[in-house]
Structure 1
Amino acid sequence: MRALSCLGLAILLMSAAVVLAAEGEPQRPSDEPPAAAPAVPAPGSPAAPAAPDIKAAPLPRFDSSGPKTAEKPRGERLDALFAELKREPSADKAGGIASSIESIWRDSGSDTVDLLMLWSAAAIAKKDNAAALDLLDQVVLLAPDYAEGWNRRATLNFTMNRYPQSIADVEQTLRREPRHYGALMGLGMILEELDQKDKALDAYSRALAVYPALKAAQDAVGRLADELGGQPI
Protein backbone atom coordinates (compact mmCIF):
# COMPACT_ATOMS: atom_id res chain seq x y z
CA MET A 1 0.00 0.00 0.00
CA ARG A 2 2.79 2.36 0.83
CA ALA A 3 4.34 1.70 -2.57
CA LEU A 4 1.08 2.57 -4.31
CA SER A 5 0.78 5.84 -2.34
CA CYS A 6 4.27 6.86 -3.33
CA LEU A 7 3.51 6.07 -6.96
CA GLY A 8 0.33 8.20 -6.89
CA LEU A 9 2.18 11.11 -5.35
CA ALA A 10 4.82 10.90 -8.04
CA ILE A 11 2.14 10.98 -10.76
CA LEU A 12 0.52 14.08 -9.22
CA LEU A 13 3.85 15.86 -8.99
CA MET A 14 4.61 15.07 -12.63
CA SER A 15 1.17 16.39 -13.74
CA ALA A 16 1.67 19.63 -11.86
CA ALA A 17 5.08 20.08 -13.45
CA VAL A 18 3.60 19.64 -16.92
CA VAL A 19 0.88 22.24 -16.23
CA LEU A 20 3.37 24.79 -14.87
CA ALA A 21 5.63 24.24 -17.84
CA ALA A 22 2.75 24.83 -20.24
CA GLU A 23 1.70 28.10 -18.53
CA GLY A 24 5.11 29.51 -17.75
CA GLU A 25 7.24 28.66 -20.73
CA PRO A 26 6.78 30.32 -24.11
CA GLN A 27 5.72 28.00 -26.87
CA ARG A 28 8.41 27.07 -29.27
CA PRO A 29 7.82 28.00 -32.89
CA SER A 30 6.50 25.19 -34.96
CA ASP A 31 8.50 23.81 -37.79
CA GLU A 32 5.50 24.17 -40.08
CA PRO A 33 5.47 27.26 -42.30
CA PRO A 34 2.91 29.94 -41.37
CA ALA A 35 -0.30 30.03 -43.32
CA ALA A 36 -0.13 32.37 -46.28
CA ALA A 37 -2.06 35.68 -46.02
CA PRO A 38 -5.06 35.92 -48.34
CA ALA A 39 -4.07 37.44 -51.67
CA VAL A 40 -5.48 40.92 -52.47
CA PRO A 41 -6.84 41.02 -56.04
CA ALA A 42 -5.21 43.62 -58.25
CA PRO A 43 -7.39 46.64 -59.11
CA GLY A 44 -9.33 46.09 -62.30
CA SER A 45 -9.10 42.28 -62.11
CA PRO A 46 -12.38 40.31 -62.35
CA ALA A 47 -12.03 39.18 -58.73
CA ALA A 48 -11.46 42.70 -57.42
CA PRO A 49 -14.51 44.46 -55.95
CA ALA A 50 -15.73 47.45 -57.95
CA ALA A 51 -14.53 50.79 -56.59
CA PRO A 52 -17.38 52.96 -55.32
CA ASP A 53 -18.41 55.77 -57.70
CA ILE A 54 -17.77 58.82 -55.56
CA LYS A 55 -18.58 62.14 -57.22
CA ALA A 56 -17.36 65.27 -55.59
CA ALA A 57 -20.28 67.37 -54.41
CA PRO A 58 -20.17 70.93 -55.73
CA LEU A 59 -18.95 73.41 -53.20
CA PRO A 60 -21.47 76.05 -52.11
CA ARG A 61 -21.01 79.46 -53.70
CA PHE A 62 -20.70 82.43 -51.43
CA ASP A 63 -21.55 85.89 -52.73
CA SER A 64 -19.15 88.37 -51.20
CA SER A 65 -21.39 91.27 -52.16
CA GLY A 66 -23.80 90.44 -49.36
CA PRO A 67 -27.48 89.60 -49.38
CA LYS A 68 -29.51 90.76 -52.36
CA THR A 69 -32.32 93.16 -51.61
CA ALA A 70 -35.57 92.88 -53.50
CA GLU A 71 -36.34 95.70 -55.86
CA LYS A 72 -38.80 98.22 -54.48
CA PRO A 73 -42.30 98.29 -55.92
CA ARG A 74 -42.89 100.55 -58.91
CA GLY A 75 -44.87 103.12 -56.92
CA GLU A 76 -42.18 103.46 -54.25
CA ARG A 77 -39.46 103.92 -56.85
CA LEU A 78 -41.47 106.63 -58.60
CA ASP A 79 -42.22 108.41 -55.31
CA ALA A 80 -38.53 108.46 -54.42
CA LEU A 81 -37.52 109.76 -57.86
CA PHE A 82 -40.18 112.49 -57.87
CA ALA A 83 -38.99 113.60 -54.42
CA GLU A 84 -35.44 113.91 -55.83
CA LEU A 85 -36.72 115.68 -58.93
CA LYS A 86 -38.51 118.30 -56.86
CA ARG A 87 -35.38 119.05 -54.80
CA GLU A 88 -32.85 119.09 -57.66
CA PRO A 89 -31.98 122.63 -58.89
CA SER A 90 -29.52 121.50 -61.55
CA ALA A 91 -31.17 121.07 -64.96
CA ASP A 92 -28.63 118.42 -66.01
CA LYS A 93 -29.01 116.31 -62.87
CA ALA A 94 -32.77 116.74 -62.92
CA GLY A 95 -32.75 115.52 -66.53
CA GLY A 96 -31.08 112.30 -65.41
CA ILE A 97 -33.72 111.78 -62.74
CA ALA A 98 -36.47 112.49 -65.28
CA SER A 99 -34.98 109.87 -67.62
CA SER A 100 -35.23 107.28 -64.84
CA ILE A 101 -38.85 108.24 -64.23
CA GLU A 102 -39.70 107.98 -67.92
CA SER A 103 -38.02 104.58 -68.13
CA ILE A 104 -40.36 103.30 -65.42
CA TRP A 105 -43.34 104.91 -67.16
CA ARG A 106 -42.53 103.12 -70.42
CA ASP A 107 -42.43 99.69 -68.79
CA SER A 108 -45.97 98.38 -69.17
CA GLY A 109 -45.25 95.00 -67.58
CA SER A 110 -46.56 93.29 -70.73
CA ASP A 111 -44.36 92.10 -73.59
CA THR A 112 -47.29 92.47 -75.99
CA VAL A 113 -48.00 96.06 -75.00
CA ASP A 114 -44.31 96.97 -75.08
CA LEU A 115 -44.09 95.57 -78.60
CA LEU A 116 -47.14 97.55 -79.72
CA MET A 117 -45.60 100.70 -78.26
CA LEU A 118 -42.38 99.99 -80.17
CA TRP A 119 -44.27 99.50 -83.42
CA SER A 120 -46.26 102.68 -82.84
CA ALA A 121 -43.05 104.67 -82.35
CA ALA A 122 -41.68 103.25 -85.61
CA ALA A 123 -44.90 104.16 -87.41
CA ILE A 124 -44.81 107.72 -86.01
CA ALA A 125 -41.20 108.07 -87.16
CA LYS A 126 -42.33 107.08 -90.69
CA LYS A 127 -45.24 109.55 -90.41
CA ASP A 128 -47.67 106.67 -90.82
CA ASN A 129 -50.14 108.20 -88.39
CA ALA A 130 -53.01 105.90 -89.30
CA ALA A 131 -51.00 102.78 -88.45
CA ALA A 132 -49.65 104.39 -85.28
CA LEU A 133 -53.13 105.38 -84.14
CA ASP A 134 -54.43 101.87 -84.74
CA LEU A 135 -51.58 100.39 -82.70
CA LEU A 136 -52.16 102.83 -79.83
CA ASP A 137 -55.88 102.06 -79.88
CA GLN A 138 -54.91 98.45 -79.21
CA VAL A 139 -52.55 99.52 -76.39
CA VAL A 140 -55.20 101.42 -74.43
CA LEU A 141 -57.67 98.59 -75.02
CA LEU A 142 -55.28 95.89 -73.76
CA ALA A 143 -53.79 97.96 -70.91
CA PRO A 144 -56.27 100.66 -69.84
CA ASP A 145 -54.30 101.38 -66.65
CA TYR A 146 -51.06 102.00 -68.55
CA ALA A 147 -50.68 105.80 -68.44
CA GLU A 148 -47.99 105.99 -71.09
CA GLY A 149 -50.25 104.42 -73.72
CA TRP A 150 -52.77 107.22 -73.24
CA ASN A 151 -50.00 109.83 -73.25
CA ARG A 152 -48.51 108.51 -76.50
CA ARG A 153 -51.90 108.62 -78.17
CA ALA A 154 -52.51 112.13 -76.80
CA THR A 155 -49.26 113.28 -78.40
CA LEU A 156 -50.17 111.68 -81.72
CA ASN A 157 -53.63 113.26 -81.70
CA PHE A 158 -52.03 116.64 -81.00
CA THR A 159 -49.69 116.35 -83.98
CA MET A 160 -52.73 115.44 -86.10
CA ASN A 161 -54.53 118.60 -84.82
CA ARG A 162 -57.15 116.44 -83.15
CA TYR A 163 -57.26 118.63 -80.05
CA PRO A 164 -60.44 117.34 -78.37
CA GLN A 165 -59.21 113.74 -78.68
CA SER A 166 -55.79 114.77 -77.42
CA ILE A 167 -57.25 116.55 -74.37
CA ALA A 168 -59.38 113.48 -73.59
CA ASP A 169 -56.26 111.27 -73.70
CA VAL A 170 -54.32 113.72 -71.52
CA GLU A 171 -57.08 113.55 -68.93
CA GLN A 172 -56.87 109.75 -68.96
CA THR A 173 -53.09 109.99 -68.53
CA LEU A 174 -53.33 112.38 -65.57
CA ARG A 175 -56.02 110.25 -63.97
CA ARG A 176 -53.47 107.42 -63.77
CA GLU A 177 -50.35 109.56 -63.15
CA PRO A 178 -51.13 113.11 -61.91
CA ARG A 179 -47.41 113.94 -61.90
CA HIS A 180 -46.97 113.29 -65.62
CA TYR A 181 -45.17 116.53 -66.48
CA GLY A 182 -45.04 115.57 -70.16
CA ALA A 183 -48.81 115.31 -70.36
CA LEU A 184 -49.17 118.59 -68.47
CA MET A 185 -46.82 120.32 -70.89
CA GLY A 186 -48.79 118.88 -73.82
CA LEU A 187 -52.04 120.09 -72.28
CA GLY A 188 -50.59 123.58 -71.91
CA MET A 189 -49.58 123.62 -75.57
CA ILE A 190 -53.05 122.53 -76.71
CA LEU A 191 -54.72 125.16 -74.54
CA GLU A 192 -52.44 127.84 -75.96
CA GLU A 193 -53.43 126.74 -79.47
CA LEU A 194 -57.05 127.09 -78.39
CA ASP A 195 -56.25 130.56 -77.00
CA GLN A 196 -57.05 129.52 -73.43
CA LYS A 197 -53.93 131.07 -71.97
CA ASP A 198 -55.08 131.18 -68.37
CA LYS A 199 -55.74 127.44 -68.41
CA ALA A 200 -52.48 126.88 -70.26
CA LEU A 201 -50.63 128.81 -67.56
CA ASP A 202 -52.22 126.57 -64.93
CA ALA A 203 -51.11 123.43 -66.80
CA TYR A 204 -47.54 124.69 -67.15
CA SER A 205 -47.47 125.69 -63.48
CA ARG A 206 -48.54 122.20 -62.45
CA ALA A 207 -45.73 120.74 -64.53
CA LEU A 208 -43.26 123.16 -62.93
CA ALA A 209 -44.43 122.19 -59.44
CA VAL A 210 -43.54 118.57 -60.20
CA TYR A 211 -40.35 119.30 -62.16
CA PRO A 212 -38.96 122.71 -61.01
CA ALA A 213 -35.83 122.49 -63.18
CA LEU A 214 -37.79 121.90 -66.43
CA LYS A 215 -36.71 124.85 -68.58
CA ALA A 216 -39.58 124.54 -71.06
CA ALA A 217 -42.05 124.90 -68.19
CA GLN A 218 -40.08 127.79 -66.69
CA ASP A 219 -40.10 129.63 -70.02
CA ALA A 220 -43.79 128.98 -70.65
CA VAL A 221 -44.83 130.14 -67.18
CA GLY A 222 -42.72 133.28 -67.44
CA ARG A 223 -44.00 134.13 -70.91
CA LEU A 224 -47.70 133.57 -70.15
CA ALA A 225 -47.45 135.35 -66.81
CA ASP A 226 -46.16 138.43 -68.68
CA GLU A 227 -48.86 138.17 -71.35
CA LEU A 228 -51.62 137.84 -68.77
CA GLY A 229 -50.42 140.88 -66.85
CA GLY A 230 -48.36 139.26 -64.15
CA GLN A 231 -51.03 137.02 -62.69
CA PRO A 232 -49.79 135.04 -59.68
CA ILE A 233 -48.61 131.56 -60.46
Structure 2
Amino acid sequence: MSVFRANLKPIVAAAFATVMYSMPVAAQQATLDELFERLKTADTVEAARIEREIQMQWRQSGSPSMDLLLKRGREAMEDDRPEAAVEHYGALIDHAPDFAEGWHGRATAFFEMGRYGLALGDLEHVLSLNPRHYEAIFGLGVIMEQLDRREQAYDAYSLVLGLHPNHERAAEAIKRLGRRVNGAEL
Protein backbone atom coordinates (compact mmCIF):
# COMPACT_ATOMS: atom_id res chain seq x y z
CA MET A 1 0.00 0.00 0.00
CA SER A 2 2.85 2.40 0.71
CA VAL A 3 4.21 1.80 -2.82
CA PHE A 4 0.89 2.94 -4.22
CA ARG A 5 0.99 6.16 -2.18
CA ALA A 6 4.54 6.88 -3.26
CA ASN A 7 3.44 6.66 -6.90
CA LEU A 8 0.34 8.72 -6.23
CA LYS A 9 2.20 11.69 -4.73
CA PRO A 10 3.77 12.89 -8.02
CA ILE A 11 0.42 12.57 -9.78
CA VAL A 12 -1.39 14.57 -7.11
CA ALA A 13 1.39 17.17 -7.09
CA ALA A 14 1.26 17.49 -10.88
CA ALA A 15 -2.52 17.83 -10.86
CA PHE A 16 -2.34 20.45 -8.11
CA ALA A 17 0.32 22.42 -9.99
CA THR A 18 -1.68 22.27 -13.19
CA VAL A 19 -4.79 23.62 -11.50
CA MET A 20 -2.92 26.31 -9.57
CA TYR A 21 -0.92 27.61 -12.51
CA SER A 22 -3.70 27.45 -15.08
CA MET A 23 -6.20 29.39 -12.98
CA PRO A 24 -4.49 32.78 -13.31
CA VAL A 25 -4.19 32.33 -17.08
CA ALA A 26 -7.88 31.51 -17.36
CA ALA A 27 -8.76 34.42 -15.08
CA GLN A 28 -6.59 36.81 -17.11
CA GLN A 29 -8.10 35.90 -20.44
CA ALA A 30 -10.84 38.43 -20.98
CA THR A 31 -14.06 37.42 -22.65
CA LEU A 32 -14.79 38.73 -26.11
CA ASP A 33 -17.56 40.91 -24.67
CA GLU A 34 -15.07 42.55 -22.30
CA LEU A 35 -12.52 43.00 -25.06
CA PHE A 36 -15.04 44.66 -27.37
CA GLU A 37 -16.15 47.01 -24.59
CA ARG A 38 -12.54 48.02 -23.91
CA LEU A 39 -11.86 48.38 -27.65
CA LYS A 40 -14.52 51.11 -27.92
CA THR A 41 -12.63 53.47 -25.59
CA ALA A 42 -9.02 52.34 -26.09
CA ASP A 43 -6.28 54.60 -27.39
CA THR A 44 -4.39 53.52 -30.50
CA VAL A 45 -1.71 51.52 -28.69
CA GLU A 46 -4.16 49.74 -26.39
CA ALA A 47 -6.52 49.10 -29.32
CA ALA A 48 -3.76 47.30 -31.21
CA ARG A 49 -3.15 45.04 -28.22
CA ILE A 50 -6.86 44.33 -27.75
CA GLU A 51 -7.23 43.65 -31.47
CA ARG A 52 -4.47 41.01 -31.28
CA GLU A 53 -6.19 39.44 -28.29
CA ILE A 54 -9.55 39.32 -30.09
CA GLN A 55 -8.00 37.81 -33.18
CA MET A 56 -6.17 35.21 -31.09
CA GLN A 57 -9.50 34.13 -29.64
CA TRP A 58 -11.11 34.08 -33.08
CA ARG A 59 -8.33 31.78 -34.31
CA GLN A 60 -8.87 29.19 -31.58
CA SER A 61 -10.47 26.27 -33.35
CA GLY A 62 -10.07 23.85 -30.48
CA SER A 63 -8.51 21.23 -32.74
CA PRO A 64 -4.86 20.76 -33.72
CA SER A 65 -5.95 19.42 -37.11
CA MET A 66 -8.10 22.47 -37.79
CA ASP A 67 -5.32 24.76 -36.57
CA LEU A 68 -3.00 23.10 -39.10
CA LEU A 69 -5.44 23.69 -41.96
CA LEU A 70 -5.82 27.32 -40.88
CA LYS A 71 -2.04 27.71 -40.76
CA ARG A 72 -1.62 26.15 -44.20
CA GLY A 73 -4.26 28.45 -45.64
CA ARG A 74 -2.53 31.50 -44.16
CA GLU A 75 0.86 30.34 -45.44
CA ALA A 76 -0.56 29.85 -48.93
CA MET A 77 -1.93 33.40 -48.84
CA GLU A 78 1.44 34.74 -47.66
CA ASP A 79 3.09 32.88 -50.57
CA ASP A 80 0.60 34.50 -52.99
CA ARG A 81 -1.11 31.18 -53.75
CA PRO A 82 -4.82 31.94 -53.21
CA GLU A 83 -5.93 28.81 -55.12
CA ALA A 84 -4.04 26.61 -52.65
CA ALA A 85 -5.44 28.67 -49.78
CA VAL A 86 -8.99 28.03 -51.04
CA GLU A 87 -8.25 24.28 -50.90
CA HIS A 88 -6.94 24.44 -47.32
CA TYR A 89 -9.74 26.69 -46.11
CA GLY A 90 -12.29 24.53 -47.93
CA ALA A 91 -11.04 21.47 -46.07
CA LEU A 92 -11.21 23.43 -42.82
CA ILE A 93 -14.80 24.47 -43.55
CA ASP A 94 -15.75 20.87 -44.42
CA HIS A 95 -14.45 19.65 -41.06
CA ALA A 96 -15.39 22.65 -38.90
CA PRO A 97 -18.31 24.49 -40.54
CA ASP A 98 -18.97 26.57 -37.41
CA PHE A 99 -15.43 27.96 -37.27
CA ALA A 100 -15.75 31.47 -38.71
CA GLU A 101 -12.02 31.92 -39.44
CA GLY A 102 -12.13 29.19 -42.08
CA TRP A 103 -14.87 31.06 -43.92
CA HIS A 104 -13.05 34.37 -43.49
CA GLY A 105 -9.80 32.98 -44.83
CA ARG A 106 -11.50 31.49 -47.86
CA ALA A 107 -13.35 34.76 -48.49
CA THR A 108 -10.02 36.57 -48.52
CA ALA A 109 -8.56 34.04 -50.95
CA PHE A 110 -11.60 34.32 -53.22
CA PHE A 111 -11.25 38.12 -53.16
CA GLU A 112 -7.59 37.85 -54.18
CA MET A 113 -8.70 35.67 -57.09
CA GLY A 114 -11.25 38.31 -58.17
CA ARG A 115 -14.16 36.02 -57.33
CA TYR A 116 -16.20 38.61 -55.49
CA GLY A 117 -19.49 36.70 -55.46
CA LEU A 118 -17.91 33.72 -53.73
CA ALA A 119 -16.10 36.04 -51.33
CA LEU A 120 -19.37 37.79 -50.47
CA GLY A 121 -21.06 34.44 -49.80
CA ASP A 122 -18.30 33.40 -47.43
CA LEU A 123 -18.29 36.78 -45.67
CA GLU A 124 -22.03 36.46 -45.16
CA HIS A 125 -21.39 33.09 -43.52
CA VAL A 126 -18.67 34.57 -41.29
CA LEU A 127 -21.08 37.22 -40.07
CA SER A 128 -23.83 34.68 -39.43
CA LEU A 129 -21.37 32.90 -37.11
CA ASN A 130 -19.68 36.01 -35.68
CA PRO A 131 -21.64 39.26 -36.20
CA ARG A 132 -18.83 41.33 -34.59
CA HIS A 133 -16.15 40.13 -37.01
CA TYR A 134 -15.00 43.61 -37.98
CA GLU A 135 -12.48 42.26 -40.50
CA ALA A 136 -15.27 40.47 -42.37
CA ILE A 137 -17.35 43.66 -42.33
CA PHE A 138 -14.33 45.57 -43.60
CA GLY A 139 -14.00 42.98 -46.38
CA LEU A 140 -17.62 43.63 -47.33
CA GLY A 141 -16.81 47.32 -47.57
CA VAL A 142 -13.80 46.66 -49.80
CA ILE A 143 -15.85 44.48 -52.14
CA MET A 144 -18.69 47.00 -52.25
CA GLU A 145 -16.17 49.68 -53.12
CA GLN A 146 -14.71 47.48 -55.88
CA LEU A 147 -18.25 47.04 -57.26
CA ASP A 148 -18.72 50.85 -57.17
CA ARG A 149 -21.37 50.65 -54.46
CA ARG A 150 -19.98 53.51 -52.44
CA GLU A 151 -22.90 53.99 -50.07
CA GLN A 152 -22.88 50.32 -49.06
CA ALA A 153 -19.10 50.42 -48.67
CA TYR A 154 -19.37 53.55 -46.52
CA ASP A 155 -22.02 51.88 -44.35
CA ALA A 156 -19.82 48.79 -43.89
CA TYR A 157 -16.81 50.89 -42.92
CA SER A 158 -19.00 52.83 -40.47
CA LEU A 159 -20.06 49.54 -38.85
CA VAL A 160 -16.40 48.59 -38.50
CA LEU A 161 -15.65 51.86 -36.70
CA GLY A 162 -18.64 51.27 -34.43
CA LEU A 163 -17.01 48.04 -33.26
CA HIS A 164 -13.37 49.12 -33.52
CA PRO A 165 -13.02 52.93 -33.49
CA ASN A 166 -9.24 52.72 -34.09
CA HIS A 167 -9.45 50.58 -37.23
CA GLU A 168 -7.09 52.62 -39.41
CA ARG A 169 -8.08 51.22 -42.80
CA ALA A 170 -11.79 51.74 -42.12
CA ALA A 171 -11.13 55.31 -40.95
CA GLU A 172 -9.12 56.01 -44.11
CA ALA A 173 -11.91 54.56 -46.25
CA ILE A 174 -14.52 56.72 -44.49
CA LYS A 175 -12.43 59.82 -45.22
CA ARG A 176 -11.94 58.76 -48.83
CA LEU A 177 -15.62 58.02 -49.44
CA GLY A 178 -17.17 60.62 -47.14
CA ARG A 179 -17.30 63.46 -49.61
CA ARG A 180 -18.59 61.26 -52.43
CA VAL A 181 -21.30 59.68 -50.30
CA ASN A 182 -22.34 62.59 -48.08
CA GLY A 183 -21.56 65.41 -50.48
CA ALA A 184 -19.46 68.51 -49.84
CA GLU A 185 -20.22 70.66 -46.82
CA LEU A 186 -21.48 74.15 -47.51
What TM-score does the superposition give when structure 2 sets the normalisation length? 0.83
Matched residue SS, 2:31: helix
Structure 1 counterpart of 2:52, one-letter code: S
**Counterpart-to-counterpart distance in 2, 1:66 and 1:140:** 34
**Counterpart-to-counterpart distance in 2, 1:125 and 1:100:** 21
User: Does 2:75 match 1:122?
Assistant: yes
CA RMSD of aligned residues (A): 2.9
Flag the structure with larger Rg: 1
Residue in 2 that maps onto 1:170: 123
Residue in 1 that maps onto 2:38: 84
Residue in 2 that maps onto 1:68: 23
**Counterpart-to-counterpart distance in 2, 1:223 and 1:123:** 31
**Counterpart-to-counterpart distance in 2, 1:185 and 1:68:** 36
Offset at 1:141?
Answer: 1.0
Matched residue SS, 1:107: coil
Matched residue SS, 1:71: helix
**Counterpart-to-counterpart distance in 2, 1:205 and 1:117:** 29
Q: Deviations over 1:7-30 (max 9, x none)?
A: xxxxxxxxxxxxxxxxxxxxxxxx
Q: Deviations over 1:24-49 (max 9, x none)?
A: xxxxxxxxxxxxxxxxxxxxxxxxxx
What TM-score does the superposition give when structure 1 sets the normalisation length? 0.67
Residue in 2 that maps onto 1:29: none
Residue in 2 that maps onto 1:181: 134
**Counterpart-to-counterpart distance in 2, 1:84 and 1:179:** 14
Residue in 2 that maps onto 1:93: 46
Residue in 1 that maps onto 2:58: 105
Offset at 1:66?
Answer: 9.3
Q: What are the ranges of 5 or more consecutive residues in structure 1 without an aligned counterpart? A: 1-52
Q: Deviations over 1:42-89 (max 9, x none)?
A: xxxxxxxxxxx99x97699798x89936836x9x7111111110121x
Structure 1 counterpart of 2:65, one-letter code: T
**Counterpart-to-counterpart distance in 1, 2:60 and 2:142:** 26
Q: Deviations over 1:133-192 (max 9, x none)?
A: 111111111111101111101111111110000011111011111111111111101000
Structure 1 counterpart of 2:96, one-letter code: A
Question: Which is bigger in relative contact order (C-alpha 8 A, separation at least 6)?
Answer: 2
Structure 1 counterpart of 2:26, one-letter code: E
Residue in 2 that maps onto 1:206: 159
Matched residue SS, 1:68: helix
Matched residue SS, 1:213: coil
Residue in 1 that maps onto 2:173: 220
What is the percent sequence identity of the aligned residues?
A: 36
**Counterpart-to-counterpart distance in 1, 2:41 and 2:145:** 29
Q: What are the ranges of 5 or more consecutive residues in structure 2 without an aligned counterpart? A: none
> Residues 67 and 119 of structure 1: is their aligned pair in 2 closer, same or farther, counting only changes over 3 Å?
closer
Counterpart contact for 2:82–2:110, Cα < 8 Å = no
Q: Which has the higher helix share?
A: 2
Q: Deviations over 1:100-151 (max 9, x none)?
A: 0000111111111110111112222222322221111111111111011111
